[in-house]
Amino acid sequence: MLDVLILVDSIAIIILTLLQSGKSAGVSSAFAGGNGGLNLFSNTKERGPEKVIAMATLVAGILFFILVIIKLIVG
């Protein structure tokens, strides 16, 4: 039963991650050193549906972590 929950949660994480919009100019500009490169510490605020998807992804990730820890403890 726990394996099924982990599988469903991992599929949910994949889908939620794919639904998120891109927040950077791209990986190539990060390596090329362009002005619009990847800024990990930028102040970007999600609004509306983007915020809901971001929060759902965070919750699914935390749930995945908890389920895996429980699986390791139970055996």
Q: What is the pLDDT of residue 22?
A: 75
pLDDT higher than threshold 70 for residue 19: yes
Where do the domains of the chain lie? 2-74
> For residue range 20-66, what is the model confidence (pLDDT) as tens digits?
987 665 555 555 555 555 555 566 677 888 999 999 999 999 999 99
Average pLDDT over residues 6-23: 92
Tokens of 2: 């726990």
Average pLDDT over residues 8-31: 80
Q: What pLDDT does 54 receive? A: 93
Q: In 10 A of CB 60, how many CB atoms? A: 20
CA–CA dist 56, 63 (Å, integer) = 10
Which has the closest alpha carbon to 5: 65, 57, 75?
65
- Among 27, 20, 2, which Cα is nearest to 58's? 20
